[in-house]
Amino acid sequence: MEKRKIIMDVDTGSDDAIALVMAMLDEHFDLLGITAVNGNIEVKLTTDNSLRVVECCDKQGEVKVYKGCEYPIASTLISWTAQSFRGVPIREGSKDNATAVHPDQLPLPAPTIKEEEDSAVVFLIETLLAAEDGEITLVPVGPLTNIAVAMRADPRIIPKIKEIMIMGGGHDVNNSSPASEFNVWIDPEAFEIVLQSGCKITLVPLDATHKCFMTVEEAQKVRAIGTKPALLIADLIEQRTTGYAQMDAEMKALNGAPIHDALAVCALVYPEVLKNVVHVNCHTDISRGFAYGETIIDQRIRVNPEPKNCYFAFDADKDIFVKWMIDVLEKDKANRGM
């Protein structure tokens, strides 16, 4: 089977960690590297957490981590914006590491490996320039700062990109503000730069990811697999459920939490996991008003419509998503001879 070459761009983060486990264990992928960015927590922590996950999957020496941008491109430059709180995001949930949706440290041992010398942006540019046209898929599941900066620094990378599978955006579902999804909200200008790049883009927005929530009961099925990665995922589903119960009434009632980022990885293996996928014209509100960071889809029926620039998944199939996760973890267990 020819493996799909991917680069994961993450703000690890509890659901990023689950996405990283799946990207490292699913045998459909050749994971070329992990680039960390400021987002859920500061970039030194998202980098450290990504290193922890690499070791949890026993991929040290095989999968490398690169530290990326510490601040968004522009959103923190004007002090009155919410994003400007000390230049790092307002964190989801409580400040308590035990109940935060995104703890500063994942429930894993401190890493014994270190990030690479090269920055994430240098790694992205050098790796993409060395590739054939259309060879590499980018899978950003945090703010798009690293990718937007790389595109601005060297646009020659754009034709090298096969597809960008983005966890980001929202239409009927938002979280960081009534109009905006977190990954866009932290760096709206970066999101718009990528939307205007001309790459093939699929948006996996909250409208889809909130359908692929996982419950504490399902976490027990994952835990029963018994491998280190499975135990981590079970712990993180439970931690996310605790964190979401403090802010999201729907998830509190479901006794679960959306596993946003892993859905973007699943969609590369099982595109049918995304439902009601529509080719649309979408742009980002960067006007710094109440809707700053909104992903706005042009649904007008125009004589000369705006060009369509992305595929937007308005729905998703939870059964396909959960079965994929269990199957990959069970295959890893077999590969470990357990």
3-class secondary structure, 24: helix
17 touches Ca ion by CB under 5 A: no
170 touches Ca ion by CB under 5 A: no
Which residue number, 13 or 256, has a Cβ lying nearer to ligand RIB? 13
9 touches Ca ion by CB under 5 A: no
DSSP code string of 241-275: HHHHTTT-HHHHHHTEEE-HHHHHHHHHH-GGGEE
CB of 124 to ligand RIB, least distance (A): 18
* Cα–Cα separations (whole angstroms), residue 165 to 6, 53, 168, 195, 312: 10, 21, 9, 12, 10
13 touches Ca ion by CB under 5 A: yes
Q: How many whole angstroms separate alpha carbon 104 and alpha carbon 45?
A: 6
Stretch that binds Ca ion, among 76-84, 108-116, 136-144, 216-224 (CB under 5 A): 136-144
Please identify which residue in 64, 162, 210, 260 interacts with ligand RIB, judged by CB under 6 A: 260
Which residue number, 145 or 183, has a Cβ lying nearer to ligand RIB? 183
Is 58 among the catalytic positions? no
Place of tokens 């690890």: 12
Please identify which residue in 9, 13, 127, 162 interacts with ligand RIB, judged by CB under 6 A: 13
User: What counts of helices (H) and strands (E) characterise the chain?
Assistant: 12, 12
Out of 11, 261, 285, 317, pick the active-site residue: 11
Interaction pattern, residues 258-297, with Ca ion; x per rule: CB under 5 A: ---x------------------------------------
Task: Say which entry of Ca ion, ligand RIB, none residue 48 contacts (CB below 5 to 8 A, set by partner kind).
Answer: none
Task: Say which entry of ligand RIB, Ca ion, none residue 205 contacts (CB below 5 to 8 A, set by partner kind).
Answer: none
Which letter, b or e, does each residue of 211-226 get, where b requires 16 or more Cβ atoms within 10 Å of its Cβ?
A: bbbbbbebbebbbebe
Stretch that binds ligand RIB, among 115-123, 149-157, 174-182, 295-303 (CB under 6 A): 174-182
Helical pair 14-25 and 318-335, crossing angle rounded to 10 deg: 60
Size of the site for ligand RIB (CB under 6 A): 15
Which residue number, 13 or 93, has a Cβ lying nearer to ligand RIB? 13
Please identify which residue in 7, 9, 16, 46 interacts with Ca ion, judged by CB under 5 A: 16
207 touches ligand RIB by CB under 6 A: no
Nearest 10 degrees: Cα torsion 193, 184, 305, 208: 130
Task: Say which entry of ligand RIB, Ca ion, none residue 240 contacts (CB below 5 to 8 A, set by partner kind).
Answer: none
**Length of the chain, in residues:** 338
Interaction pattern, residues 140-159, with Ca ion; x per rule: CB under 5 A: -xx-----------------
Please identify which residue in 15, 42, 189, 332 interacts with ligand RIB, judged by CB under 6 A: 15
Closest CA to 283 of 193, 166, 162, 155: 193
* Cα–Cα separations (whole angstroms), residue 182 to 98, 143, 179, 292: 21, 8, 10, 11
Amino acid identity, residue 22?
A: M
183 touches ligand RIB by CB under 6 A: yes
The CB-nearest residue to ligand RIB is 182
Closest CA to 140 of 126, 119, 161: 161
CA angle at 241 for the pair 235 and 243, rounded to the nearest 5° = 105
Q: How many whole angstroms separate alpha carbon 264 and alpha carbon 205?
A: 9
Q: Which residues bind Ca ion (CB under 5 A)?
A: 11, 13, 16, 141-142, 261
* Residues with active-site annotation: 11
Which residues sit at the interface with ligand RIB, rule CB under 6 A?
11, 13, 15-16, 39-40, 141-142, 167, 175, 181-183, 260-261
